[in-house]
Structure 1
Amino acid sequence: MLYMVQMAVKKPHDIDSDIWTDIITREREYGQTYMKNGQFPHIWRVVGKFANVSIFDVESNDVLHQILAGFPLFPYMDIQVTALAEHPSALKK
């Protein structure tokens, strides 16, 4: 199943900079694990924001939730998920 996931990060004002740097490092490593295995094939930065639009290709809602909840930035994110389906007007590959 394909999902469009919009993630916006809300950095706490009072978080220690070393702790924040560690979270960001772990976030990148965690995300790249799913990029490499094909479950997180696309990510785009939203210009001017600490946010992204991503595509996930996973087996179910539950699998997607498990992946998203595992992101180190999860407690600081506002996440919107949209399930996707093929469009009948799309060019076939």
Structure 2
Amino acid sequence: MEDITVEDLKARLDKNEKFVFIDVREEWEYDDDNLGAMNIPLGDLPHRLDEIDQYKDQEIVVHCRSGARSGNAKKFLESKGFTKVRNVLGGIMAYNNL
């Protein structure tokens, strides 16, 4: 699936649209600033797939600080059979600059 811009993400969050939203930053980063996503740090993702397995065929939006870790998370999830994963381009840094 195509990645998502921070502008599109903000519009969808403002409308309370339904999608699975995952923040793959570390817990301390999440505690400092978050957008309400579930927090599963990238390093923990392989061990916590059971928490999101039921969303395999639903849209999943992943984000991190700048888009790099979430890009890796997208590739990993796709390799595990998740079919509709989107990365937030620019991450929370770009989102906070809106």
Pair in the same fold by TM > 0.5: no
User: 1 or 2 for the larger relative contact order (CA 8 Å, sep ≥6)?
Assistant: 1
Q: Report the structure, 1 or 2, having the larger helix content.
A: 2
